[in-house]
């Protein structure tokens, strides 16, 4: 790498970055190693979560050019102070668009074959690169960085744990202020305010608060509808901490719940617990999905479980692996995934229960501390 970690860690107050720098340069080395056999001699990373994963840079405009011995981070003048604080790459402050500056360096470094992220680039960006690729060949590459990102390091797991704990604390704080008659938007607002107050970067996705029959919409957008008595209330929320996401869903009762709603809750909870129980390194993701569905089938509710059982999460709220019916991908120790079966009956209501867990060699660790006993408000 062009800048040594110790050089960057010299200044007082900059030492905390040192261990991070090492982790990022190791990730880059692992990534560069992974394309050694492909005859690709440089790689242009344009997806921001991937740039962040490999460099530590958290800004909103960047591209990373990696060769066997160089790491160039392109960003714009807004980040000229932040970029060297966050990463130990060779920082190039671009005066023009990044995709104008990056190819100049590709030529300068005598690159012959440049890998790029084929699923992460716009047609316009590709077209632009192609027009500038006079002396090098463009090689589309699939989800190589995403594959590396699936298994989390100890530092990443510690950060996800913080995000999960903060999220649950925000949930507790917000619920304490709950009053009947409050709207879905009021409660969503209180939740996101609490996240901020507790130190989150922000919500990791738009908080879902749905009451009554609206709980049957798996991704309901909070509305001005008042949360009244004797109905279901579903909250799906996640906080981002130091770039890492958490994700949790709890379904509650406001006042009295019908026997049907309580039975749905029991079924979904049993399904979620059985699915969690099935998790361990080495099994296919589809096994976890099947475990969840088998329980719901016993209750005659499997037909209304209309999404997959879970997803990986990390620098993005949805990343690999997918925990679905047809996913043959084997789970590995260190993967961070959600387990979130749900049942949705149109015009009646829905129940979903979701935790964030870490796959281990012999099972998994449920990070989410929030109770799954049915909460009645
Ligand atoms: Zn969720
Ligand atoms: Zn989720």
Q: How confident is the model at residue 156 (pLDDT cuts 50, 70, 90)?
A: very high
Cα angle 169, 49, 163; round to 5? 10
* pLDDT score at 100: 86
The pLDDT tens digits for 30-46 are 999 888 788 899 999 99
Q: What is the rounded distance in angstroms from the CA atom of residue 147 to the CA atom of residue 317?
A: 15
Residues having C-beta closer than 5 Å to ion ligand 1: 236, 247, 249, 354
> Tokens 């304490």 — which residue?
176
Q: What is the rounded distance in angstroms from the CA atom of residue 251 to the CA atom of residue 341?
A: 12
Q: Domains of the chain, with CATH numbers?
A: 2-149 (3.40.350.10), 154-366 (3.90.230.10)
Report CA(62)–ligand 1 centroid distance (Å).
Answer: 28
Report CA(249)–ligand 1 centroid distance (Å).
Answer: 5
Region 244-248: mean pLDDT is 98
Token digits for 173? 């704080």
The pLDDT tens digits for 334-364 are 999 999 999 999 999 999 999 999 999 999 9
Q: How confident is the model at residue 19 (pLDDT cuts 50, 70, 90)?
A: low
In 3D space, the residue among 251, 236, 161 whose CA is nearest the CA of residue 203 turns out to be 236
Report CA(373)–ligand 1 centroid distance (Å).
Answer: 18
Exposure class string for 168-197: b at 16+ Cβ within 10 A, else e: bbbbebbbeeeeeebbbebbbbbbbebbee
Close Cβ partners of 273 (under 8 Å, ≥ 6 residues apart) = none
The closest ligand to the CA of 337 turns out to be 2
Report CA(248)–ligand 1 centroid distance (Å).
Answer: 5
Report CA(225)–ligand 2 centroid distance (Å).
Answer: 24
* pLDDT score at 50: 98
Report CA(353)–ligand 2 centroid distance (Å).
Answer: 10
Q: In the Cβ-directed half-sphere of 118, how many Cα atoms lie within 13 Å?
A: 9
| Neighbouring C-beta atoms of residue 23, cutoff 10 Å | 16
In 3D space, the residue among 122, 106, 105 whose CA is nearest the CA of residue 114 turns out to be 106
Report CA(236)–ligand 2 centroid distance (Å).
Answer: 8
Structure letter (DSSP) for residue 10: -
Token digits for 247? 């994700």
Q: What is the rounded distance in angstroms from the CA atom of residue 1 to the CA atom of residue 244?
A: 26
Report CA(307)–ligand 2 centroid distance (Å).
Answer: 10
The closest ligand to the CA of 219 turns out to be 1
Asked if 173 and 196 count as a contact pair (C-beta separation under 8 A), the reply is: no
Report CA(305)–ligand 1 centroid distance (Å).
Answer: 15
The pLDDT tens digits for 126-145 are 998 998 888 899 999 999 99
* pLDDT score at 97: 87
Beta-strand ranges (E) seen in 87-165 are 90-93, 113-117, 137-141
The pLDDT tens digits for 169-214 are 999 999 999 999 999 999 999 999 999 999 999 999 999 999 999 9
In 3D space, the residue among 151, 251, 248 whose CA is nearest the CA of residue 204 turns out to be 248
Q: What is the rounded distance in angstroms from the CA atom of residue 31 to the CA atom of residue 38?
A: 12
Report CA(250)–ligand 2 centroid distance (Å).
Answer: 11
The pLDDT tens digits for 57-94 are 999 999 999 999 999 999 999 999 999 999 999 999 99
């Amino acid at each position: 790498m062009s800048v040594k970690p110790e050089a960057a860690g010299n200044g007082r107050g900059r030492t905390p970055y040192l261990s991070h720098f090492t982790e990022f340069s190791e990730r880059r080395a692992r990534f560069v190693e992974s394309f050694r056999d492909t005859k690709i001699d440089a790689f242009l990373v344009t997806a921001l979560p991937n740039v962040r994963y490999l460099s530590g840079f958290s800004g909103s405009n960047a591209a990373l050019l990696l060769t066997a011995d160089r790491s160039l981070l392109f960003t714009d003048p807004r980040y000229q102070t932040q970029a060297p604080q966050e990463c130990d790459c060779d920082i190039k402050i671009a005066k023009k668009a990044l995709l104008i500056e990056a190819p100049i360096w590709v030529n300068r470094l005598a690159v012959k074959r440049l890998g790029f992220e084929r699923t992460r680039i716009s047609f316009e960006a590709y077209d632009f690169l192609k027009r500038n690729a006079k002396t090098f060949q463009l090689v589309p590459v699939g989800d190589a960085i995403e594959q590396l990102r699936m298994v989390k390091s100890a530092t990443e797991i510690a950060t996800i744990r913080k995000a999960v704990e903060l999220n649950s604390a925000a949930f507790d704080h917000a619920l304490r202020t709950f009053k009947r008659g409050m709207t879905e938007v009021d409660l969503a607002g209180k939740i996101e305010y609490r996240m901020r107050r507790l130190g989150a970067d922000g919500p990791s996705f738009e908080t879902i608060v749905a009451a009554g029959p609206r709980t049957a919409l798996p991704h309901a957008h909070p509305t001005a509808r008042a949360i009244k008595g004797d109905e279901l209330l579903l909250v799906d929320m996640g906080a981002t901490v130091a770039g890492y996401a958490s994700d949790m869903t709890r379904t509650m009762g406001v006042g009295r719940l019908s026997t049907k709603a309580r039975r749905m809750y029991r079924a979904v909870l049993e399904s979620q617990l059985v699915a969690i129980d099935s998790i361990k390194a080495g099994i296919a993701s589809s096994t976890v999905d099947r475990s969840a569905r088998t329980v719901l089938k016993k209750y005659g509710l499997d037909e209304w479980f209309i999404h997959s059982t879970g997803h990986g999460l990390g620098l993005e709220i949805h990343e690999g692996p997918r925990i679905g019916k047809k996913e043959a991908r084997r789970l590995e120790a260190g993967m961070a995934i959600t387990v979130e079966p749900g049942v949705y009956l149109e015009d009646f209501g829905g129940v979903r229960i979701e935790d964030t867990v870490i796959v281990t060699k012999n099972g998994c660790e449920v990070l989410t501390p929030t109770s799954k006993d049915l909460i009645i408000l």
